């Protein structure tokens, strides 16, 4: 044992049939050197007109193409209370939201690899076409199953292309200011959630759900065409990129990455529930539909602020530090949800939840680069997102089933819904998963407060 070499080399196959070597220092397994063929000598502009123009273009594409995901609660509330699809329960309608979320863990690894190879411009064009087509097709849905397939899953697939492309192009232009730039870019989805929730409700009230979907399809396509025109790649392609399976084998050698993946597996059963059910909860408390949609909109507005402010703060204090703080704050806020029964109380709760949820979104990509290295970031992000499959698919339907089980109907046909069991389910699953991140933080920092 005393003669054991302190270093171990793992061979992983590449796409071309050759091998890449990964070196691990067995005295400190967390120190994994990137495989041969990876470059750490990239240069970044970290500012300038072209860099910030790209950031604005990313903001705009995410404004519609991801912002609409955070408006799912407006459509769910409308479909359920307007009985758009006959004899449809909360749990069934909720599959629209869950299948939308399922697209990320299902397709993010593949799409991340595709964007790394083909570039964000092509990725954005493909995503915009898929998303706009999904809403047009969904506008003709005769049954809730069609909406689940097209407004849910197909929309989500296009969203993955757009999101991965927006993250990829930002990381090509920024390094030291990456947290701030990503914060501005992904704030587009929060700002879009704020604006699109109000716009969606106005379209539903004025034109109906079918034309609401069609108009929003045109908006998504227009912003993606602009984004694609602006997304000019400036970093060279690495001809010796690892395959998805080889990359996964590489990253899962690190116990911190394994625990990070497990955290996502648990926490995403609850992460999107406030975005899905705040409007319905508000309606159950006697708040009208327009004000209920405003609560959701300002929740997304809080998310936009959190993405920028916490992204900037992460640049100064450490990406992992902010990431863990936001992940612990979200479930704690969620568990206070039953105490909010007025319009003002729900507004404050929603904005606080959105603020920290937004910080999680903007700090995740630079956190991965800071802790595990900056190479192949988009593909690595896709692998992390694959952990959320069970939660994204099962979270909203399980929550909907809990609501159905706690719904009573009086003699006059009026429904009374007890939301507390559903809220406890979401808050506690998030808390259980996110507490695992404390170990990741301690393992990385050796339990010392430092910037990382």
**Model pLDDT for residues 180-231, shown as the tens digit of each residue:** 888 899 889 888 888 988 899 999 999 999 999 999 999 999 999 999 999 9
Q: Tell me whether residue 48 is in a domain.
A: yes
**Model pLDDT for residues 49-90, shown as the tens digit of each residue:** 888 999 999 999 999 999 998 888 788 888 887 777 876 777
CB 427 within 8 A of CB 273: no
> How many Cβ atoms from other residues are within 10 Å of residue 220's Cβ?
29
Give the pLDDT band of residue 6 (cuts 50, 70, 90).
very low
Q: Tell me whether residue 298 is in a domain.
A: yes
For position 272, which CATH number holds? Answer: 1.20.1250.20
Q: Tell me whether residue 452 is in a domain.
A: no
Q: Tell me whether residue 2 is in a domain.
A: no
Q: Tell me whether residue 450 is in a domain.
A: no
Secondary structure class of 287 (helix, strand, coil): coil
Q: Tell me whether residue 55 is in a domain.
A: yes
CB 419 within 8 A of CB 277: yes
> Which residue do the tokens 């449809």 mark?
88
Give the pLDDT band of residue 112 (cuts 50, 70, 90).
confident
Q: In terms of pLDDT, which residue wins out, 286 or 70?
A: 286
Total structural domains in the chain? Answer: 1
Which residues on adjacent β-strands are paired with residue 242? Answer: 14
Residue in 328, 357, 303, 334 with CA at minimum distance from that of residue 426: 334
Q: Tell me whether residue 1 is in a domain.
A: no
Residue in 3, 131, 135 with CA at minimum distance from that of residue 65: 131
Report the alpha-carbon distance of residue 20 to residue 10 in Å, rounded: 8
What is the extent of the structural domain holding 33? 7-445
> Order of strands across the sheet with 19-25?
7-13, 19-25, 32-33
Which residues on adjacent β-strands are paired with residue 23? Answer: 9, 33
Per-residue b/e over 397-424, b at no fewer than 16 CB within 10 Å? bbbbbbbeeeeeeeeeeeeebebeebbb
């Amino acid at each position: 044992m005393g003669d054991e070499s302190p270093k171990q080399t793992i061979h992983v196959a590449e796409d071309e049939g050759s091998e890449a070597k990964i070196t691990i220092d067995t005295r400190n397994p967390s120190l994994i050197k990137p495989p041969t063929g990876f470059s750490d000598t990239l240069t970044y502009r970290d500012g300038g007109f072209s860099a910030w123009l790209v950031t604005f273009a990313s903001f705009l594409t995410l404004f519609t193409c991801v912002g609409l995901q955070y408006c799912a609660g407006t459509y769910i509330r409308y479909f359920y209370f307007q009985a758009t699809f006959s004899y449809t329960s909360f749990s069934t309608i909720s599959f629209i939201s869950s299948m939308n979320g399922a697209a990320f863990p299902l397709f993010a690894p593949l799409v991340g690899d595709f964007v790394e190879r083909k570039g964000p411009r092509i990725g954005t064009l493909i995503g915009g076409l898929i998303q706009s087509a999904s809403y047009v097709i969904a506008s003709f849905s005769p049954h809730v199953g069609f909406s689940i397939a097209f407004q849910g899953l197909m929309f989500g697939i296009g969203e993955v292309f757009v999101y991965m492309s927006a993250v990829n192009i930002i990381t090509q232009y920024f390094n030291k200011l990456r947290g701030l730039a990503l914060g501005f870019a992904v704030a587009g989805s929060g700002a879009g959630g704020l604006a699109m929730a109000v716009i969606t409700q106005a379209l539903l009230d004025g034109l109906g759900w079918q034309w609401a979907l069609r108009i929003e399809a045109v908006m998504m396509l227009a912003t993606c065409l602009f984004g694609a025109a602006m997304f000019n790649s400036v970093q060279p392609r690495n001809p010796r990129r690892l395959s998805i399976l080889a990359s996964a084998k590489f990253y899962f050698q690190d116990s911190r990455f394994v625990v990070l993946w497990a955290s996502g597996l648990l926490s995403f059963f609850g992460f999107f529930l406030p975005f899905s059910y705040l409007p319905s909860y508000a309606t159950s408390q006697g708040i009208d539909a327009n004000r209920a949609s405003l609560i959701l909109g300002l929740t997304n507005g809080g998310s936009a602020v959190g993405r920028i402010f916490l992204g900037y703060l992460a640049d100064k204090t450490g990406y992992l530090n902010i990431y863990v703080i936001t992940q612990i704050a979200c479930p704690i806020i969620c568990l206070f949800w039953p105490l909010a029964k007025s319009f003002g109380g729900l507004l404050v709760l929603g904005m606080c939840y959105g603020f920290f949820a937004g910080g999680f979104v903007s700090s995740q990509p630079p956190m991965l680069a800071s802790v595990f290295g900056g190479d192949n970031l988009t593909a690595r992000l896709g692998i992390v997102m694959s952990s959320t499959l069970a939660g994204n698919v099962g979270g909203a339907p399980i929550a909907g089933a809990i609501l159905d089980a706690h719904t009573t109907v009086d003699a006059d046909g009026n429904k009374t819904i007890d939301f507390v069991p559903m809220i406890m389910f979401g808050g506690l699953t998030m808390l259980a998963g996110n507490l695992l991140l404390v170990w990741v933080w301690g393992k990385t920092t050796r339990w010392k407060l430092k910037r990382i």
